[in-house]
Structure 1
Amino acid sequence: MTTVIESALGAADAALFLQSPADVSRAAKAWRKAPVIGIDTEFVRERTYRADLGLVQLSDGHTVWLVDPLVDENLTQVKALLEDHSVIKLLHSPSEDLEVFRNDMDVIPRPMVDTQAACALLGQPLQLAYHAAAKWLLDVEVAKDQTRSNWLRRPLSRGQLRYAALDVCLLPEMWRRLKHNLEQRGRLDWLHEDCERQLRVAADGVPDDQAWARIRGVTRLDGSGLAVIRRLAAWRENEARMRNLPRGFVLPDAVLLQVALGRITSEARLKEVDGLHRRMLERYGSSVVAMVSEVIASGETIPEIRPLDSSAKQALNKLRESIKKQASILDIDPALLASRRELESALRDSPETWPDKFDGWRGRYVTEPLKEWAA
């Protein structure tokens, strides 16, 4: 084990738990001087729409700071760091962290590096966990024993604090090695492109009228049914956000799908839907049938998600085989270039609606073959 890694692990053991705004302000002076800062968050999200932030961890590789966000003033300095373009923020698989930053501090960190995405560009699995990345890059075992902790309870235990510190202390050294390997392979720009796309998605969020696309089984619906579930899913998203409840606590996906499939326009029929609890029916029943009736009366439809025809299926198989060969040459997971679902959607749609990820470094491997088929 190198001295750098030993120093980082030592910093985790000596992590500074910052609860007062004065302590956070003093620590922030060191954060702002570092060229890179590893960042992670711990939160609780079991019975709420928004994650409840319980801890913010930061490390420059020499010191670990654990900031208590339950003191509102403490987040002011964290936000300033996230907005500081002179400091590169290192996060591993940051989608949920980015959502927390946007909701709690109204900020998206720039510049940002996703170390999980960096690992994928070097041939590792797309969803490589932090502990697995630490083992692969640094040969360090990182504990996973506090993943179900209550991060809102005070005081936090010594075990919780050490776990939180270990989740961030190795990021600077991991990034140093990842960056070197990416530069050697000419893929550093690829990473920056993918990270910037992540930030754009995080900043924009998913529009309420697109929430229906996340519901499993929507391919069973015709155009009218899709219009119904789009309306219901958008309404549920807004209701869950306003009441700060998980989407399923408002109405489960399966209920929305059954209502859309059955074009249910009466509370009597709504009572027969599996999974619709009495309290849900009492609170939302009249609103649901009113929305369904309104959509049906309007004649609104959405283009159906039709199965690929035989010609498109042949094209899909050829594209997947081509991408598999290219991925083998690049030594990366084929899904990093394009997933089966993305390819199927692209074959159904016009090039103007293809994912913007196809416009960048993936273009020569994905977009050019796709355009040949579309022509």
Structure 2
Amino acid sequence: MNAQYIDSNAALNKFCTQLEHSSWLAIDSEFIREKTYYPELALIQIANNDHIACIDPYKIDQFSALIELFNNPDIVKIFHSPSQDLELFAHFFSAVPQNIFDTQLAASLLGIGNQIGYADLVNKLCNVQLDKKHTRTDWSRRPLSESELDYALDDVRYLGDIYQQLTQRLIETQRLEWLKADFAALSDINHYQIQWSSLWQKVKGNQKIKGRDLHYADQLCQWREKRAQHKNLPKRWIIKDEDIIDIARLNPQKIEDFKAIRTLKEGFINHQGKQIINLFKQADEIAEEEWPKHEKFKTLSVNQQTKADCLMAICKKLATQNDMAQATLTSKKDIDQLVLGKTSKLNEGWRFEMAGDTCNKFLRGELNIHIDKEGILQLI
């Protein structure tokens, strides 16, 4: 198929017309975000069985035809590990493609590596070694060379073949239905909205503080996020994580107090110090029951830890039987949560079908385990 370079509204509309009867579309994007809060969309790559193209978003200002394709539930949208692409589309188009198929997630469910990279998956399933010479390309630069565009197109060139191979294997192993809930969640635009009340949980060092200090850090995180959005600058350029923790602990009452934190620049103190002091004063008016709190992780008793160890062994056996990495199936946290009777992914969807039901039977005493003469774990 001949590659196209789409750099006008008319060309995009024509291209979208060519794609509207597709059964699937392979999609990828290139973006820049080193110096901005919002990722800057620099290129969109799309392919189907007959067409492949790079779309230049700098030359186009009417994307309604493309968004209509994205929203068409009858067309499968194939991505590889799409979270960043979907976050970008949610911001840029105020829409997220519907009917998504994630090749990385599908591959992990089939035991083809845990979170396998795209190049490795292409090599494994298509026997093609992708060129990596343009991994550091500035995709916002124009014009892009023919070699760079061809490199970008490789990101969608093989997705259709991979999708068809993975789908066939999923059908053969009766696992296609397992992925529907996970894929549906990817198309939920709310998944890509900011969770304001939990921003503090992503701040490095938040476990070191609690109470009023954590409350101040929470307010400072929200202030930073809004300022970063307004100025379209990386959050770390507004204020670093470690400075958030230090300022929250300090609870400055006057500008001079900020100087106790040696990593704060004088310009920041002079321009933002008063705002932060006022921010903390306003925070003092919020009732303590509304302050953020760390989730209390209960330490497992000796008996509970023994149960958790047994569940880990059970999950490892079941993952191996299903040609899957144990890490794809479960984690230590999920097993501990199950033992404690709390919410666990092992009680959801395909994980419950593969292992969660068995684990619950063991916890209820309806199933036992033992090691046979060959040293193999058996479920009885």
> Post-superposition shift, 1:237?
1.5
Q: Distance in 2 between matches of 1:276 and 1:343?
A: 42
Counterpart among 329, 345, 350 of residue 321 in structure 2: 329
Identify which range, 50-59 or 22-31, moves more after superposition: 22-31
Q: Which has the larger radius of gyration?
A: 2
Q: Distance in 1 between matches of 2:76 and 2:252?
A: 52
> Post-superposition shift, 1:347?
6.8
In structure 1, stretches of 5+ residues that fail to align are 1-10
The alignment covers a number of residue pairs equal to 360
Distance 1:207 1:277, change over 3 A: same
Counterpart among 199, 202, 222 of residue 234 in structure 1: 222
Distance 1:278 1:349, change over 3 A: farther
Distance 1:152 1:309, change over 3 A: same
Partner of 1:309: 299
SS across alignment from 1:54: strand
> Post-superposition shift, 1:16?
0.6
SS across alignment from 1:194: helix
Contact 1:265 1:290 in 2 (8 A): no
TM (norm. structure 2) is 0.85
Contact 1:252 1:275 in 2 (8 A): no
Matched, 1:362 2:351: yes
Partner of 1:109: 97
Distance 1:333 1:266, change over 3 A: farther
> Post-superposition shift, 1:61?
3.4
> Post-superposition shift, 1:48?
0.4
Contact 1:64 1:165 in 2 (8 A): yes
Partner of 2:332: 340
Contact 2:26 2:78 in 1 (8 A): yes
> Post-superposition shift, 1:40?
0.5
Q: Distance in 2 between matches of 1:373 and 1:263?
A: 48
Counterpart among 121, 124, 137 of residue 133 in structure 1: 121
Q: Distance in 2 between matches of 1:298 and 1:198?
A: 35
> Post-superposition shift, 1:19?
0.8
Q: Distance in 1 between matches of 2:247 and 2:339?
A: 30
CA RMSD of superposed structures (Å): 2.8
Post-superposition Cα deviations, 1:310-369, rounded to whole Å, max 9, x if no partner, equal: 426555544434433332222222232333345566777844xx56x8432222424774
Q: How does 1:136-215 map to 2 (within 5 A)?
A: 136-200=124-188, 203-215=191-203
> Post-superposition shift, 1:262?
4.2
Identify which range, 98-107 or 271-280, moves more after superposition: 271-280
> Post-superposition shift, 1:74?
4.7
Partner of 1:123: 111
Which is richer in helix?
1
Distance 1:316 1:188, change over 3 A: same
Higher relative contact order (CA 8 A, sep 6+): 1
Identify which range, 106-115 or 189-198, moves more after superposition: 189-198
Q: Which amino acid aligns with 2:294?
A: E
Q: How does 1:290-305 map to 2 (within 5 A)?
A: 290-296=278-284, 298=286, 300=288, 301-305=291-295
Q: How does 1:6-21 map to 2 (within 5 A)?
A: 11=1, 14-21=2-9
SS across alignment from 2:74: coil
Contact 1:102 1:203 in 2 (8 A): no
Distance 1:192 1:168, change over 3 A: same
Q: Distance in 2 between matches of 1:309 and 1:253?
A: 28
TM (norm. structure 1) is 0.86
Post-superposition Cα deviations, 1:194-252, rounded to whole Å, max 9, x if no partner, equal: 11122336645231121111223222222333322222212222221121111111111
Q: Which amino acid aligns with 2:18?
A: A
In structure 2, stretches of 5+ residues that fail to align are 365-380
Q: Distance in 2 between matches of 1:273 and 1:372?
A: 53
SS across alignment from 2:115: coil
Post-superposition Cα deviations, 1:163-205, rounded to whole Å, max 9, x if no partner, equal: 1111111111110000001111111112222111223366452
Contact 2:95 2:189 in 1 (8 A): no
